[in-house]
Structure 1
């Protein structure tokens, strides 16, 4: 954590080929989500549930490739709960 906003930066390496591996704790689920959307993170199905209206913005990003296609994605959500609801296992670490 740093600064007055107490921001934190975390990241993991996710590799899906030849099989799910890397430091992502839910590698198999995250790779399945990527495959289902063909690498389009805006199309992630997410999961159902309710989040509070707490304003604590969180920005997530993915950079790399999926099945040979470049992936460079970044989005800000109102809070961690909303991010996890929208992205499912991909950023659940």
Structure 2
């Protein structure tokens, strides 16, 4: 009986150990990105980096841009000299998730689509 319990415990330990590689394969960056245009649609995408993936339409470029600012969306300023109109069509954006183990929580309202894309480039090009 004791031998059987030891065998069951050992099998359980091997089963738990077998699941460890799946955890190691998880992307080091997992961000949910949401863009809600006033009076328009809401777009959502998952961005994974290291390795690149998710549902983001331009994940590779978005990861590259975020890597350059240490994963801090507030530091993005992709096209600082963009000529945007004064059209008022606000976009509320949110980036939330994990960047190499650190929590990311960022939200901002841009006056229009042009201002949003000038600041964030591919990151918010959903």
Superposition TM-score, scaled by structure 2 size = 0.66
Q: Aligned pair 1:38/2:76, yes or no?
A: no
Q: CA deviation at 1:49?
A: 2.1
**What aligned pairs does 1:13-52 form with structure 2 within 5 A after superposition?**
13-17=46-50, 19-47=51-79, 48-52=81-85
Gap regions ≥5 residues in structure 1: none
Question: Considering only aligned residues, what root-mean-square deviation do their CA atoms show, in Å?
Answer: 1.2
Relative to its length, the structure with more helix (as a share) is 2
Structure 2 counterpart of 1:87: 120
Relative to its length, the structure with more strand (as a share) is 2
Larger radius of gyration: 2
Q: How many residues align?
A: 88
